[in-house]
Amino acid sequence: MAKTKNEETIKIKKKTLILAIVVIIAILAALGSVYYMNTKKDKEKTTTEEVLPAEPIEVTATAIIAKECTVCINMSQVIQELKQTPLVVMRQSNILFASSREAKDLIRKYEIAKIPTLILQGEKIDELPLRGFKEIENTAILEDVPPPYVNLETKNLEGLVDITYVKDKSCEKCYEVEQHKVIMEMAFGLFIQNEETIDINSAKGAEILQKYDITKVPTILLSSEAAKYPAIQEVWEQIGTTEKDGTLVFRGFDMTQDIVYKDLSTGELINSSQIENEE
């Protein structure tokens, strides 16, 4: 009995969810390692409760944003969420355009390299469990700005990622490679700017296979901007390779479940779940 379009859609979404869960687990494992490494460095702070302030800390928040960056993190929303946390009492909040004189003075004073950013000021700012901030006296400045962001040295907007789907269009049973986009956006937080699909049977496809030594398809290529994302930095070596030109190639077929792909060296179709069961 032929499957309906809805049944096929549900099946694809199920496979996407499974693959996403596997990737998320890998991310959590990597981040967990970082957490435990930090814990070892500070044996006195063994629990979350011990590093939290005894009472809310009064702070002033100043966000510096780039007027031209409509895809950057929404600092107004960040400040609103910060106001709702029980850890702080917001005395005042400001949002400045980077082109303003006040913002330029702050950028120069604190040697800010990326925007948008957030500056928190308060007498007890050092008692807040802040990660990704550098502290100067009673001030904390966000350094680990999530992409996309504007690099103030180059004036470039960074973190806009191009994704290329490399597939064999004649392989009807191969998994839907486009599902990687959902995973990259949801699990890794990537901002996908452009998408392109390349058939391995085309001249361009053959060139890509040779250039990156791709032996299994479908797969994806991510532009070098993807490497600016912390989640990618943490786990990519487990699920792919970074090529000499900075391109990221997905090769983690052994980390997937219930997908069908083609081994180009043998021409065989392989079901990842069957391999797992055989092992």
Q: What is the pLDDT along the chain (279 residues), one digit of tens a residue?
A: 444 444 444 444 444 444 544 444 444 444 433 332 343 344 444 344 446 777 899 999 999 999 989 999 999 999 999 999 899 999 999 999 999 999 999 999 999 999 999 999 999 999 988 889 999 999 999 999 999 999 999 999 999 999 999 999 999 999 999 999 999 999 999 999 999 999 999 999 999 999 999 999 999 999 999 999 999 999 999 999 999 999 999 999 988 878 999 999 999 999 976 654 444
Q: What is the pTM of this model?
A: 0.76
Domain that holds residue 173: 5-29+159-278
Q: Looking at the 3D structure of the chain, how many domains does it have? A: 2
245 and 164 share a domain?
A: yes
185 and 256 share a domain?
A: yes
- Name the residue among 135, 140, 136, 65 with its Cα closest to residue 102: 65
37 assigned to some structural domain: no
The CATH code of the domain that includes 61 is 3.40.30
Cα separation, 16 vs 23, in Å, equals 11
Looking at 104, 129, 151, which one is the last position of a domain?
Answer: 151
- Residues 24, 53: contact at Cβ < 8 Å? no
42 assigned to some structural domain: no
166 and 253 share a domain?
A: yes
